[in-house]
Structure 1
Amino acid sequence: MRILKTIFDFYLDASVHVAVAVISMTGVTFHLLGSSSDINLLGFIFFSVIVCYNFIKYGVEAYKYLIVSNVYHKVIQIFSFVSFAFAIFFLIQLDEQIWVATVVLGVLSALYAVPLLPRAKNLRNLAGLKIYIVAFVWAGFSVLLPVLDAKMTLDWDFAVTFIQRMLLVLVLILPFEIRDMQWDDKKLRTLPQVLGAKNTTRLGIGLTLIFFLLTFLKDELHQQEIALRAILCVALILVLLSGKRLRSKYFVMFWVESIPIFWYCMFWCAEKYI
């Protein structure tokens, strides 16, 4: 059991789980496009998310994450460097359009942690901006890149899907924001710091409803998509109403980040068995 717990902790601490969540959302986009998944794009997104998140977690936000030993930290660092090599390998297999979009998203991700100029603030430290940057980057990786990869136009349905994905990520971030209230610098002015935990929960429920209602603005709409989004929204609301469980490491890091995986599995099952 101790070995299994160590493996599970590494799975969470090394950002593998969050990477699976992001490629799950990318898989959902491929389903919505009616396009087959591109293994090179999925590989690039998976490994680049690991690199990006580990850089932020154990660099910029290291005070939130207690590392049990220097050896453990070193293993995560080595894993991150290997992931970076794999990310580059998969990226060079992709089209130039993907490269350009990746550079833009990469610069935005870098500015989240690293100031553009000496003595300047990074984007993360600009009050209230943190979660919107994360939401935009996640939407970029999981919606924009698949659309470019499938060589489809950036039309109205793309815009609606992109906004919906940003809203989904915002809702998924809120439990982390509530959990991190005790650690975050007051100058960050996160939503729970400004609104309080209860009002942040209410905001999350409101964003979830908007996320669902935006579905009906799409030009191409299928009953299956409506049903699966409705189930997803129920799951999101139940998580937001979990109360004290949101302060649990494993509940937030595993179960909350499992919601996109659950969403993708619903699409996969619907395609296979319905």
Structure 2
Amino acid sequence: MRTLRFIFNFYLNASIHVALAVISLLGVTSLVLEIPLNLSLFGFVFFGTIVCYNFVKYGVEAKKYLVVMNAYHKNIQALSFFCFGLAVYFLIHLDRKIWVAVLGLGLISCLYAIPLLPKTKNLRSLGGFKIYIVALVWVGFTVLLPVLDNELDISWDLKILFLQRFILVVALILPFEIRDLQWDDPEIKTLPQIFGIYKTRMLGVILMVVFFLLTFLKDNLIGVEISMRLLVSVLLIIVFLQRDRVPRKYFASFWVEGIPILWFGIYWSLKNLY
């Protein structure tokens, strides 16, 4: 039992679960746009997410990321370096036209944790910007990259997809901000710090209603897409109505982050079934 708990905690702490969530959103994009599932892109985004998230969580200072004393964190560090090598391998197999986008998204991710200049703040410390920066990067990796990879024109429906994905990621982050309220530096000015927990939860509900209603603004719409967006909206609304469970240890890091994985799994099954 203790071994299983260790493996489960390592799975979460090493950012493997969040990486699965990110590539699940990438998979949803491929299904919605009816474009091929590029295994090289999936591999790069999966392993790159592990590296990026572990760097943000454990490498706020570069020296801390390279010189690790704790044995548990050494294992995460070793995994991160291994994943970095795999991310580079898959990136090499991608078309060079998306390398510029990857460079830009990677730079934003680095500046999120490390200041550009000495004695300056990183992007995470800029009051009120944290949640939007994370959402922007997720949108970039899960929508922009497959669009560039398939050389798609920016249509009206695609603009709706960009907006919906941004709203969804913001909503997915809110439970984490509520959970981390007691630990976050007041200077970060997260939404729970500004509005309080109740108003933040209600904001989450409103965001999911908007997320779902935007679906009906698309020019090309199929029933399965409506059903899937309704499912995701209902699940997250239920999350925001769980007043006592959000602060719990695994509620956000496993269950909330697992919603995109569930979304892709069901969506993929339905698309292949019909």
TM bin, normalised by shorter chain, reads: over 0.9
Distance 1:181 1:10 in 2: 23
What's 1:64 paired with? none
Distance 1:102 1:116 in 2: 18
Distance 1:96 1:210 in 2: 36
Distance 2:198 2:110 in 1: 32
What's 1:24 paired with? 24
Deviation at 1:218, TM superposition (A): 1.5
Over the residues paired in the alignment, what is the CA RMSD in angstroms?
A: 1.2
Distance 1:9 1:25 in 2: 23
Distance 1:158 1:88 in 2: 28
What's 2:66 paired with? none
Per-residue Cα deviation, 1:83-107 (whole angstroms, up to 9, x for no partner): 0000000001001121011011111
Residue 114 (structure 2) pairs with residue 100 (structure 1) = no
Residue 183 (structure 2) pairs with residue 191 (structure 1) = no
1:247 partner letter: P
- Structure 1 gaps of 5+ residues are 62-68
Residue 75 (structure 2) pairs with residue 75 (structure 1) = yes
Distance 1:238 1:180 in 2: 20
Identity %: 56
2:178 partner letter: I
TM-score w.r.t. structure 2 length?
Answer: 0.95
Residue 255 (structure 2) pairs with residue 255 (structure 1) = yes
1:60 partner letter: V
Distance 1:253 1:231 in 2: 20
- Structure 2 gaps of 5+ residues are 62-68
Deviation at 1:139, TM superposition (A): 0.5
2:109 partner letter: S
Distance 2:190 2:153 in 1: 35
Distance 2:115 2:220 in 1: 42
TM-score w.r.t. structure 1 length?
Answer: 0.95
SS at match of 1:243: coil
What's 2:236 paired with? 236
Distance 2:272 2:41 in 1: 23
Distance 2:84 2:181 in 1: 31
Deviation at 1:154, TM superposition (A): 2.1
Distance 1:36 1:249 in 2: 37
What's 1:161 paired with? 161
Distance 1:215 1:122 in 2: 35
Deviation at 1:273, TM superposition (A): 2.4
Deviation at 1:126, TM superposition (A): 0.7
Residue 210 (structure 2) pairs with residue 201 (structure 1) = no
What's 1:91 paired with? 91
What's 1:145 paired with? 145
SS at match of 1:181: coil
Where do 1:20-59 residues align within 5 Å?
20-59=20-59
Per-residue Cα deviation, 1:34-62 (whole angstroms, up to 9, x for no partner): 1120100000000000001001111339x
Deviation at 1:216, TM superposition (A): 1.4
SS at match of 1:245: coil
Deviation at 1:256, TM superposition (A): 0.5
Aligned length: 267
Distance 1:155 1:106 in 2: 26
1:209 partner letter: V
Distance 2:253 2:190 in 1: 19
What's 2:65 paired with? none
SS at match of 1:183: coil
What's 2:131 paired with? 131
SS at match of 1:265: helix
Deviation at 1:151, TM superposition (A): 2.0
Residue 113 (structure 2) pairs with residue 113 (structure 1) = yes
